[in-house]
Structure 1
Amino acid sequence: MLRYSLTLGIKAKWPGTFPWATLVVNLSGALILGFLLGWQVNQLVSLFLGTGLLGGYTTFSTFNTELWTLFHSRYYWLFVCYALISYGGGILLAYVGLLLGQKI
């Protein structure tokens, strides 16, 4: 429900070809997951929040569908940018989240 609401809000503010909504959702999910790992909460809580909540919040299948659509529609520049920002930004934000979580 959270992802769906956020997606609707982002698409209303930033319509167009670039998949901003999925990018924001997945990058924020990477940051939060990194934070949970760095915070080192109880394993059961970590599994519930990381796998359960964030697993439902983030979306790998939509990301790949959007990549395929950009490529198939010959938006090659957007395809490359989306892939690089998603993968690179996800790794970077997970690391930032990890560092933030370790400070608590």
Structure 2
Amino acid sequence: MTFSSQLTTDLAVFFNTDEFAETVIYTATGGIAASITAIVTREGEGQEPYVRGIFTATALVLVKKSEVATPRHGDIYAFDSQTWEHDPGRGVVYEDAQLYEVALRRVD
């Protein structure tokens, strides 16, 4: 087994909905909604930086590049019966050859 094939096997475990992942409805800007598998980290609610009195809920989603080609402002993610959008202030916080970690903020 090569290192690359081992990474693919490991990702299959992490992105298994019986383990760490969950199903998220992803709609790319101008696209059609599709079910993807993502690892969601709910960060909670906090005050919006530089804006007094405005509070937002934030989250991070780890997605496979094979399911989300290019994350961008305007993309919508739905999970927990809530709608989340690509956070334009933070955007993609991590990227490697197979994954993106995208910052989100709740819109409803």
User: Which TM-score band (shorter chain)?
Assistant: under 0.3
Q: Identify which of structures 1 and 2 has the higher relative contact order when contacts are C-alpha pairs closer than 8 Å and 6+ apart.
A: 1
| Superposition TM-score, scaled by structure 2 size | 0.27
> When the two structures are superposed, what TM-score results if normalisation uses the length of structure 1?
0.27
Higher helix share: 1
Give the structure with the higher percent strand: 2
